[in-house]
């Protein structure tokens, strides 16, 4: 009897050990499955967060730029009548009551001369003179105005500005290839009406943004640009269209 009882107990212990091993293997398999399932959504979630963050940051700067320019126009509706916007002038086709490009030769001799690039952060309020000469326009962004242009969102270059034959618009660009960038720009574009904003993919070569093919008004080779229009002069305006062709009707 004792031998039989000992044999049964030994068998039971072996069974318990076997069952425990099975449970351990099951637990390992479940842990591996959970690890994989958590890793994939985490990557997707990070991309989604970057898309949302970038779109919100760009939208905030668009709103600030437009508001600052419109405030200037409302404050000085006459602008600077000395601006030469003739075909052969310093600013062909420009609207005199809007800021002209800060690198315009109109500012030669002004207290703050022409800049190198047409950056939004350097635009000046046309008609708001801070000196004796009419071309001494006051800066829109800076300490004297109390409005400060924040740095562009991560991965993007500073906003640039155009006031000419095609109308008035501003744009930013990036040469980064992060997967979420195009998604962010597509999401941002959906916040605007058709023909008001466009996403320009210049990965295959530089694309002119204005009809005059101005060297400083391009989406450079290998970049993606996002442009917002304030005023469009038809039929001169150059429409490059979006990659999703949702602005095919713009002319």
Q: Residue 87: pLDDT above 90?
A: yes
- The mean pLDDT value for 88-102 works out to 96
The pLDDT confidence band at residue 249, using thresholds 50, 70 and 90, is low
Per-residue tokens: 205: 């070569």
Residue 122 has pLDDT above 60, yes or no: yes
Instruction: Give pLDDT tens digits for 123-137.
Output: 999 988 776 777 889
Q: Cβ of 75: how many Cβ atoms within 10 Å?
A: 10
End-to-end CA distance of the chain: 101
Q: What string of DSSP letters covers 148-202?
A: -PPPPPTT-PPPEEEEETTEEEEEEEE----HHHHHHHHHHHTTS-TTTEEEEE-
pTM of the model: 0.79
Residues of the chain by 3-state class (helix, strand, coil), percent to 5: 35, 15, 45
Mean pLDDT of the 79-101 span:
95
Per-residue pLDDT at 49 exceeds 80 = yes
Give the model's pLDDT for residue 250: 75
- Where residue 5 falls among pLDDT bands split at 50, 70, 90? very low
Cβ-based neighbours of 39, under 8 Å, separated by 6 or more: none
**What interhelical angle do 179-189 and 2-75 show, nearest 10?**
50
The residue among 213, 94, 88, 69 whose CA lies nearest residue 147 is 69
Question: Pairing between strand 218-219 and 197-201?
Answer: unpaired
For the chain, what are the domain ranges? 59-232
In degrees and rounded to multiples of 5, residue 59 shows phi and psi of -60, -40
Average pLDDT, the chain: 84
Percent share of the chain, pLDDT over 90: 59
Q: Identify the residue whose tokens are 């290998």.
A: 222
d(CA 5, CA 126): 104
Give mean pLDDT, residues 190-201: 92
Q: Please compute the mean of the pLDDT values over residues 59-70 and round it to a whole number.
A: 96
Residue with the bigger pLDDT between 56 and 23: it is 56
The pLDDT of residue 40 is above 60: no
Distance CA(105)–CA(237), nearest Å, equals 23
Instruction: State residue 199 phi and psi, 5-degree precision.
Output: -105, 125
pLDDT for residue 188: 95
Q: How confident is the model at residue 144 (pLDDT cuts 50, 70, 90)?
A: confident
Query: How many whole angstroms separate alpha carbon 142 and alpha carbon 204?
Result: 37
**Coil vs helix vs strand at 242:** coil
Among residues 117, 103, 95, 228, which one has the least CA distance to residue 167? Answer: 95
């Amino acid at each position: 009897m004792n031998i039989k009882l000992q044999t049964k107990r030994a068998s039971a212990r072996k069974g318990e050990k076997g069952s425990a091993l099975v449970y351990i293997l099951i637990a390992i398999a479940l842990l591996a499955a959970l690890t994989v399932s958590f890793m994939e959504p985490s990557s997707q979630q990070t991309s989604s967060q970057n898309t949302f963050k970038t779109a919100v940051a760009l939208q905030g700067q668009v709103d600030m730029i437009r508001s600052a320019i419109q405030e200037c126009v409302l404050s000085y509706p006459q602008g600077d009548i000395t601006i030469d916007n003739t075909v052969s002038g310093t600013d062909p086709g420009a609207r005199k009551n809007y800021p002209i490009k800060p690198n315009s030769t109109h500012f030669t001799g002004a207290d703050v001369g022409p800049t190198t690039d047409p950056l939004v952060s350097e635009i000046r309020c046309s008609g708001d003179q801070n000196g004796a000469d009419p071309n001494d326009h006051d800066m829109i962004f800076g300490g004297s105005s109390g409005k400060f242009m924040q740095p562009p969102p991560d991965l993007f270059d500073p906003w640039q500005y155009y006031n000419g034959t095609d109308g008035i618009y501003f744009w930013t660009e990036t040469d980064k290839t992060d997967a979420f960038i195009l998604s962010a720009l597509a999401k941002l574009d959906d916040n605007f009406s058709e023909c008001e904003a466009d996403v320009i993919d210049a990965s295959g070569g530089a694309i002119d943004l204005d009809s005059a093919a101005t060297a400083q008004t391009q989406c450079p080779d290998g970049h993606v640009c996002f442009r917002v229009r304030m005023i469009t002069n038809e039929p001169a305006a150059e429409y490059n269209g979006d990659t999703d062709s949702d602005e095919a009707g713009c002319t």
